[in-house]
Amino acid sequence: MSRTNLKNSAAHLHDKQSERDTRELRIDKVGVRGLRFPIQVRDKARSVQNTIATIGMFVDLPKEFKGTHMSRFVEVLNGHGSVIHVENINEILRELQRKLNAATSHLEIEFPYFMSKKSPVSRLESLMDYTARFDAAACGAEIDFVLTVKANVTTLCPCSKAIAKYGAHNQRGEVTVAIRSRKIVWIEDLISMIEKSASSELYALLKRQDEKAVTERAYENPVFVEDLVRNVALRLNADKRVSWYKVEAENFESIHNHNAYACIEKGC
């Protein structure tokens, strides 16, 4: 079939999404979620890190329209090349607004983030993975941006240490920090705040002498889940770049059949 015939054929296809809807209900967010796409993010160590993100893209839908055009989200994403740069986020939000005639647009990008770490005694180097996330939204001309970082740590129970004759129970904890900031805050900055607030940070590679050091460090720095979120919050309070934050910690308990959880949120 010729290109002209293809165009003529497409012109006769019915556009159900553009039909009028009679239920008079506006939709806040509609779009696509679960797209996997290569992205580039800046880091302190190597200036650029290549990784794979899971992406969600959304717009609002006025009450008079039956549906949105899902293919246009993917068109916008691929229109920025084979790799998305973080600096393109504002452009993508604006293009979503234009292409889908929307007042608001939303972009969520979650990806694994890697840092090289040296073990505490043997100084052997290995890669540690973390989870980072960007949540960005455009409402009219205004842009909102939230950076979220998740990092695992070791926590040792102060109560267990105080009452037990032979040791204390410890466990892995997951800390999630989300921030809004006035200036750039590096992903590494948030990871450092989290790891310094725990009984001990984690490593991908530990020899016996390293394991001894990490175990003893945790024993000397016991923290409840409440201590953990407060320690992170104190560091965020001291950082003038941060205008809002939410700190969550969940300890995957080793002697209880439940997890311990705490949360602090501050700012607007």
Q: What is the pLDDT of residue 73?
A: 92
| Mean pLDDT of the region 212-220 | 95
Strands (E) in 42-189, as ranges, are 49-61, 84-85, 104-118, 125-139, 142-156, 170-181
Q: Which two tokens stand for residue 59?
A: 């717009």
pLDDT single digits (tens) 109-133: 999 999 999 999 999 999 999 999 9
The mean pLDDT value of the chain amounts to 90
What's the pLDDT band for 70 if we cut at 50, 70, 90? confident
159 burial type by CB count under 10 A (0-12 exposed, 13-18 middle, 19+ buried): exposed
Q: How many CB atoms lie within 10 A of CB 160?
A: 15
pLDDT higher than threshold 70 for residue 103: yes
Q: How many CB atoms lie within 10 A of CB 125?
A: 11
Write the CB contacts of 117 (distance below 8 Å, at least 6 apart in sequence): 125, 126, 127, 128, 203, 204
143 burial type by CB count under 10 A (0-12 exposed, 13-18 middle, 19+ buried): middle
Percent of the chain with pLDDT over 70: 91
What pTM does this model have? 0.88
165-193: b or e for each residue (b if 16 or more CB lie within 10 Å)?
eeebebbebbbbbbbbbeeebebebbbeb
Q: What is the pLDDT of residue 25?
A: 85
Q: What is the pLDDT of residue 128?
A: 96
Q: Which two tokens stand for residue 95?
A: 């293009």
Percent of the chain with pLDDT over 90: 74
pLDDT single digits (tens) 128-155: 999 999 999 999 889 999 999 999 999 9
What's the pLDDT band for 48 if we cut at 50, 70, 90? confident
Backbone angles phi, psi at 173, to 5 degrees: -120, 150
What's the pLDDT band for 2 if we cut at 50, 70, 90? low
Q: Are 190 and 146 in contact (CB under 8 A)?
A: no
| Mean pLDDT of the region 57-70 | 84
pLDDT single digits (tens) 198-213: 999 999 999 999 999 9
Domains in the chain (CATH in brackets) are 21-118 (3.10.270.10), 140-268 (3.10.270.10)
Q: What is the pLDDT of residue 251?
A: 96
